[in-house]
Every structure is written in C-alpha cells, then in structure tokens.
Amino acid sequence: MAVSPRVFPPRKRWPSTGSSISPKFADLNLVKSLLSLSQEISALKPLQCLLIQKSLSTINKSKLLAIVFEELLRNPVSTSFSPSILLCFEEMYIVFQRIKTLMEDCCNGSKMWLLMRIQPLANSFHELTLELSTLLNIFPVNELDLSQDVEELFVLVRKHCSQSKPSVDPREDSLRRDVLALLHQIKKEIVPHHLKLKQILDNLGLRDQSSCREEIECLQDEIQNQIDEKSKIDIASLIGLLRYAKCVLFGSSTTQLEPDHRRRNSLSDIAVPADFRCPISLELMRDPVVVASGQTYDRESINQWIESGHNTCPNTGQTLAHTNLIPNRALRNLLAMWCRQQRVPFETVGSNEKVSGVKATKAAFEATKMTVYFLVNKLSVSPSMEAANAVTYELRALAKTDSDSRACIAEAGAIPVLVRYLGSGVGSEHPNLQVNVVTTILDLSILEANKTRIMETDGALNGVIDVLRFGATWEAKGNAAATIFSLSGVHAYRKRLGRKTRVIKGLIDLAKDGPTNSKRDAIVTILNLAGDRETVGRLVEGGVIETVIGVINVLPEEAVTILEAVVKRGGLVAIAAAYNSIKKLGVILREGSDTARESAAASLVTICRKGGLEVVAELAAVPSIERIIWEVMGTGTMRARRKAAVLLRILRRWSAGLDTNDVVNISVMSEGRLTTMLSA
C-alpha cells in the first residue's frame, strides 16, 4: 500500500467504538474538528493495488470539504450555527471518523486478506459515501455566508456523493477468484502453476522475498485480530499459499531473521514472569495443568515426572491423591496474551493447533506439504553451502510454526539430509548453517513422533552431540543442548543419553563456560537427565556439583534445583562433593526466591542427614543460620517450611552433642510429624 503501516497503530477490528460517538464540541470548535479530520484523510495517499478508485474518490471529497470548513473558520460572521447545522456537523464528524478508520484498516492490513474482503469493503466505502450524501442533501447551505466558489464546491461534492455505486472493480474481483481457484487446486493436491502464482503476487505488489515475508506476518497478525472461526481458517489457507509461493518464486533468503526467530525454549532475552515458569523445568509453560495438590506445572514436565514413577507433588512433596491433570485455562490465556505482546510463539506442545488455536485447513496442510517437499528436494541437490544455508533457514522458519509443519518436514525425509550439515567442518566454515540445522532439528524434536525419527536416523544423535561439544557458536551449542533436553523427554531416551559420556561432558562444559543463555540450556538439560539415578553417578563423576556451585550466583534457581536432585540420588560421593556448597546454600536460603529457598532447604537436609556431624558443623558456622531458618519456616512454601523445620531440629540436636546417628534418625522420624504441625 502507498501508506506505510507505521502511519497508524494496528487495529483489532473495524470500526472502533469511538467512531460512532457524537462529539461534544460547540460551534467553531466542531468545525475545527471537522477540518482536522478531513485534512488527515486528505493527506493520505490512495491505496495501491486494490480499492484504488474508491480510496482516491474518498480522499478527493475530503479535500473539497476541507476547503468548505476552512471558509467557515475564516468568516467571522458565522460564529454561531442553527441547531440543524450543528446536527449535520455532528453526523458528519461521525462519518469522517468511520472513513478514517476504514482507511486505517485498509492501509495496515494484509493485501491478501484485503482482496478476500474486497466486496464488503467496497460496500463499506459506498455506504459511507451515501451517508455523507444524505447529510449534504439536507444540509442548509443557504444559511451559511459562503463565497460563490466555495458553495459551488459544496454542490459538486454533493453531486459526486449521490452518484456513488456499490461496485467492485472487475479486475479485483477476477483476482480474488484466481486466488480462490488456486486454493481449491491445492486442496485437491494439484501443484499451482508458477506463472499463475507470479501473476497474482505481481498484481498485489508482492514481488520479492521481503514483501512476501511481511505479508505473511500481516496475515499471522490478522488471525489474532479475528473472532470469526471461518475467517481464521481462510487466513490460515492464505498463509500456506503464500509460504509456498515465496519459496518457489523467490528462492530462499537469510538476509534477516524474523523478530521471533529464536527457538521456543531460549527466552533468556526476555524476563519471563516467575508465575509463567514451570517449577520443574523452569521454562515458560506452554500447557499449564493443575495436579491433585493444587500446584500448576507444564503438562510435558509433570507427565515426565509421573511417568518416572513419582507419586508426589514436586513442589510440596505431598502424595498425590490421583494423577489426573486439569488444564489451567485461565493461566493459559494469560500466557497466550503475554507471548503475543512479546512476539514469542505460543503453542501447546504436541497439538495440531497454531499460535492462534486454528486447526490446519486442508488447503493450508497441502500447501505446507508442497512447500516442504520443494525445500527438502532443493536441499538434497544443493550445489553450495550458501544455497543449503538459505534452504535450511526456510525449513527452520517452517518447523517453528506448528505440529503439522514439523510432521511434514520429517515425513519428507528432511532429517537425514539435515544431518549432513552437522559436522564440525561445516560449522567452522559456515557457522550460520550449523545453527540453522541444529535449530531445525530442535524444533522438529518437539513433536513426539519426531523424537523417535531423530534417535533412529543414522548420525543424527552423534551430530547433535558433536555440535554440543564442538559447535562453532554458543547459540549452536545451546540449541544442541536444548535438542538433547527435548529428546530426553522420552524415558528410554533419557537413560540412553545419560549413558553417553560425551553428552555429560558437553553439558557440563557448556554450563561451566558458556554465556548465561547457554548455561541455562545446559543446566535445564542436566536437570532432566538427573531424573535417572544411574545418570546421576556419571554427572557427579563429571563434576556437575562443582559446576553448579560455580553458576549458583548467576542462575540460583536452576543451580539449587539440580543440586537437590543430585545429592538426593548421588550417594556419599555426591554428598562429599557438595560439602563446599553449604555456605552458598545458606545464602540462597536467606536471599533466594521461594523456589530456590525450597530446593536449598531440601538439599541441606539431605546433605546433613547423609554427611555426618562435620557437615552439620559447617552449616552451623553459617552466620545467623538459625534466624534464616526461622524466616523460611515463617514465609516459605509448605515444603520449604517443612524442610527448614527439619534443618532446625538437626542443628539443635547437633548443638546438644548428640552423635550423627541420633541426629539423622530423629530428623527422619520428625519430618512426618512436622508436616502435620506446619499444616495446622
């Protein structure tokens, strides 16, 4: 369009409620407001490609009426108007507001969606012109002291308004029918003719990669603005068509990543509210559910917890009366709103729904399949690394959109082709290609069926591990760690991954040396692997406790959560290694968040129980430790209060001179009673 979308703020729906409210201005102030509105409309350029004549005619009428309003303001005689004139002016103000709103929507909206609504929009222009015509016909112009020239302009506008017709440009209607015909072909799995695609896009002013990408983004925003389900479905089909056309007609491009190009579990650049993080994974929740204890978790994380054999609530430690998971719809709606504001993709993992919640249409699904097969075939015969990078970027962008796309990409045989570009040789020469490949595999792994495909594809897992250890960039290493996290969601794969020394080594090195984003990726993955007791031993041998102690000041919640898991399952070796963490856990107990304090208290209880009097003495040496424990008992979560009470009892028994066994036995016997006391 001729008018930049930045001229107006995006609108949700047309018209706005304020467009139908009469102004509360008097006399000349009302005329000034009409002049201002008419000048704003006059300053706009006519729409391009579509509704050209309608918009041009509307702008010209506004320019002529602006001259009339200027004449009224220049004439000092007309300082008061009759009630009939004021009433006409008020109604004109409403019409001008609605005209401006209509122009806003046409300027800001998607061209494709504008084309699909060409008939109702043309009718809207016609209806507003008729309303203006009615007002001009009943307007008592003879009561105003206008010059002859200005009065003639008024009559001219009135005449033109009365001649308005509710017509659609035949070329625009034909173009709309062509688009519908293409969608019908795609629905029947008929590949559209490239020349026809090009002709349609040319007529809409979409002549390169950039304009197509912007149009797709406009359509995605448009889905969010729709209430009608059919409209959402129609827009989803248009998005599928445009994605196919962009790849086929204009090739692949990596000139600029989309604003939300980062993978879904790398939100470190955005401050995620604590209430939106899953207490288990510490990542942004996608499908929040409530368990029997009343606590909320991400569905995938709590499912993994339950499937691992646990029957307790991770937060409170209480036994779950049942394992039913109740969707937390209120929180999910808040998450969706927050993600939309932050331009972060929001999608329920494992569903076939897009960010908007719109089920994929037949046309959209077939268009996605055509796009995927075109890209995979192109990647298979790619003549250069630069060309492969461009195609892989397109697959990466497609893989993050929805589950249907992820399924199509895997079914088209993309994973074995992508694996070719995971090697360290590729990373050293073409780091962007390595990032695009490993991120595509990460997004593909979100779909449960694709986890098996990745694990069973020759060289895929080893390629991801190589990137984790020797990736050319921190982003590549972090995304490789996140891929392992995703794959470890399957219990059998978690054990298999935990047996690989290279995985343990790579994750610990990344947690130790990487930037904050990458540290978090590695630590969350380590936490997932630590659910298996056999893997915990390897983690301890690999130095995970020392690594966690080193990052506890940077990522306290994540670090203490891992420490709790490791010391609980790691035996005496883990307890001995955790000795140096006691003072830092004391600091977390005093200054950390509720989640961190809870894990710190639980870790200290385990360390003190199994570590003997020397460990308890180290804890007792922490300044003001008893006061800190009392604070946790008063303000912490239920589980934190229970663990803090046990800690206090251990310290009291130690100070009374009891031996190690007495301290431990009493603390174990007391915890059940303390639970009842604290609940009361």
Predicted confidence (pLDDT) per residue in 615-638, tens digit = 888 888 888 888 998 998 988 888
Same domain, 36 and 123: yes
Burial of 587 (0-12, 13-18, 19+ CB in 10 A): middle
**SS3 per residue for 580-630:** HHHHHHHHHHHHCCHHHHHHHHHHHHHHHHHHCHHHHHHHHCCCCHHHHHH
* Closest to 476 measured CA to CA, from 528, 525, 514, 504: 514
- Domain's final residue, options 116, 143, 168: 168
* Mean pLDDT lowest among 190-204, 280-294, 404-418, 598-612: 280-294
* Mean pLDDT lowest among 194-203, 327-336, 400-409, 498-507: 327-336
Residue 105: HSE in the Cβ half-sphere, 13 Å Cα cutoff: 24
What is the share, in percent, of the chain residues with pLDDT greater than 90? 24
What is the share, in percent, of the chain residues with pLDDT greater than 70? 86
| 125 pLDDT above the threshold of 50 | yes
Check if the beta carbon of residue 632 is closer than 8 Å to that of residue 595.
no
Same domain, 400 and 491: yes
Mean pLDDT of 407-425: 89
Mean pLDDT of 545-553: 88
74 vs 398, higher pLDDT? 398
Same domain, 182 and 313: no
Measured in degrees and rounded to the nearest 5, phi and psi for residue 326 equal: -105, 120
User: Encoding tokens for residue 465?
Assistant: 């591990």
- Alpha-helical regions (H) of 163-228: 170-187, 194-203, 209-225
Check if the beta carbon of residue 321 is closer than 8 Å to that of residue 295.
no
* Mean pLDDT lowest among 35-39, 260-264, 509-513, 670-674: 260-264
- What is the predicted pLDDT for the residue at 45? 84
- What is the predicted pLDDT for the residue at 343? 63
Q: Residue length, the chain?
A: 680
CA angle 503, 507, 509 (to 5 degrees): 120
Burial of 620 (0-12, 13-18, 19+ CB in 10 A): middle
Check if the beta carbon of residue 572 is closer than 8 Å to that of residue 610.
yes
Instruction: Give dist(CA 176, CA 172) in Å, integer.
Output: 6
Model-level pTM? 0.72
Same domain, 104 and 33: yes
- Domain assignment present for residue 228? The answer is yes
Interval 214-255: pLDDT, tens: 898 888 888 877 777 888 888 888 999 999 988 888 876 554
Distance set, CA 352 to CA 169, 359, 361, 401 (Å):
39, 7, 11, 10
Same domain, 41 and 164: yes
Instruction: Give dist(CA 375, CA 387) in Å, integer.
Output: 11
The pLDDT mean for the chain works out to 82
As for how many domains the chain has, the answer is 4
Identify how many contiguous H helices and E strands the chain contains and give both numbers: 34, 3
- What is the predicted pLDDT for the residue at 28? 78
Mean pLDDT of 162-176: 88
Interval 170-209: pLDDT, tens: 999 999 999 999 999 888 888 888 899 999 999 999 988 8
Same domain, 151 and 191: no
Instruction: Give dist(CA 642, CA 319) in Å, integer.
Output: 15
Same domain, 334 and 393: no
| 283 pLDDT above the threshold of 80 | no
Strand 288-290's sheet: what is its strand order? 296-298, 288-290, 326-327
User: Encoding tokens for residue 647?
Assistant: 């800690």
Coil, helix or strand at residue 531: coil
- Domain assignment present for residue 646? The answer is no
To the nearest 5 percent, what fractions of the chain are helix, strand and coil?
70, 0, 30
CATH code of 313's domain = 3.30.40.10
* Closest to 302 measured CA to CA, from 600, 285, 318: 285
- Domain assignment present for residue 245? The answer is yes
* Mean pLDDT lowest among 267-276, 392-401, 429-438, 441-450: 267-276
Check if the beta carbon of residue 451 is closer than 8 Å to that of residue 464.
no
Distance set, CA 343 to CA 264, 349, 625 (Å):
11, 18, 44
* Mean pLDDT lowest among 5-9, 514-518, 560-564, 635-639: 5-9
Same domain, 164 and 33: yes
- Domain's final residue, options 467, 499, 531: 499
- Domain assignment present for residue 140? The answer is yes
- What is the predicted pLDDT for the residue at 359? 56
Coil, helix or strand at residue 319: strand
User: Encoding tokens for residue 123?
Assistant: 């009718």
Check if the beta carbon of residue 191 is closer than 8 Å to that of residue 371.
no
Same domain, 302 and 410: no
Same domain, 224 and 91: no
Same domain, 97 and 186: no
Measured in degrees and rounded to the nearest 5, phi and psi for residue 443 equal: -65, -35
- What is the predicted pLDDT for the residue at 79? 53
Same domain, 88 and 139: yes
Which structural domain, as residue segments, surrounds residue 328? 285-342
* Mean pLDDT lowest among 74-78, 280-284, 337-341: 74-78
Residue 20: HSE in the Cβ half-sphere, 13 Å Cα cutoff: 4
| 273 pLDDT above the threshold of 90 | no
pLDDT tier, 468 (very low <50, low <70, confident <90, very high otherwise): very high
CA dihedral 565, 569, 570, 571 (to 10 degrees): 140
